[in-house]
Amino acid sequence: MGLVRFFLWGRTTTLLMVWGFLFSCNNTRAQVQNPAYRAMLIGLYKNTVPLIGVQQAQNTAGYLFLDAREWKEYEVSHIKDALWIGYDHFLPDNLAGIPPDAPIVVYCSVGYRSERIGEQLLALGYTNVHNLYGGIFEWVNQQQPVVNSQNQPTRRVHAYSKAWGIWLTATAQKVYN
């Protein structure tokens, strides 16, 4: 009987810990507004790069934003002052002049590609790297501004594909090209 109680206690404790981790109000994951999107992201990320939520990234001065999408996506819109570093054509040489301890937020559409680039940054010795949780999609979903290639405010967002575009809210103007 004691073994059964121990087993049930262990499973209950584990369940409560997971529940608290996923749904804590202070958890970066809880900051993604759409629960279905949040669930998809939980399965998508490997959690190899520290996450930062939209509100924290937006409200903290001094972050350098790096856009890990492809050039055509960046041209449609990007976070103001973000540097384009790409994904398929990422070159560490493009980071010249960025100190290894600079506070960096890497983002892409949903956070998958930026996590891969974040891993590379960490391997290169950058020590203060964060992945924007939910990517530019969640940034726009939370009404944060983006600019086009002329540095003008826009609601246009490259949605990557129709399958991924479902995660953008109706306030965004989805672009596919």
Task: Decide: pTM greater than 0.75.
Answer: yes
**Which residue's entry shows tokens 């350098």?**
64
pLDDT in tens, 64-122: 999 999 999 999 999 999 999 999 999 999 999 999 999 999 999 999 999 999 999 99
**Which residue's entry shows tokens 């999408």?**
69
Tokens of 142: 């939370």
Q: Which domain holds residue 26?
A: 1-31
Same domain, yes or no, for 146 and 75?
yes
**Number of domains observed in the structure of the chain:** 2
Between the CA of residue 112 and those of 31, 101, 130, what are the distances in Å? 17, 23, 12
Tokens of 166: 């479902």
Same domain, yes or no, for 148 and 116?
yes
Same domain, yes or no, for 79 and 6?
no
State the DSSP H helix or E strand holding residue 83, giving kind and residue range, or none if neither: strand 83-84
Same domain, yes or no, for 64 and 145?
yes
Same domain, yes or no, for 167 and 125?
yes
- At position 25, the amino acid (one-letter code) is C
Q: Find the CATH number of the domain harbouring 110.
A: 3.40.250.10
State the DSSP H helix or E strand holding residue 63, giving kind and residue range, or none if neither: none
137: closest CA among 170, 105, 104, 177?
Answer: 170
Same domain, yes or no, for 132 and 166?
yes
Same domain, yes or no, for 3 and 81?
no
Same domain, yes or no, for 38 and 15?
no
90 contacts 117 by C-beta, under 8 angstroms: yes
pLDDT in tens, 33-65: 899 999 999 999 999 999 999 999 998 889 999
Same domain, yes or no, for 97 and 156?
yes
| DSSP category for residue 36 | H
Same domain, yes or no, for 36 and 25?
no
Give Cα 79 distance to the centre of its chain. Answer: 12
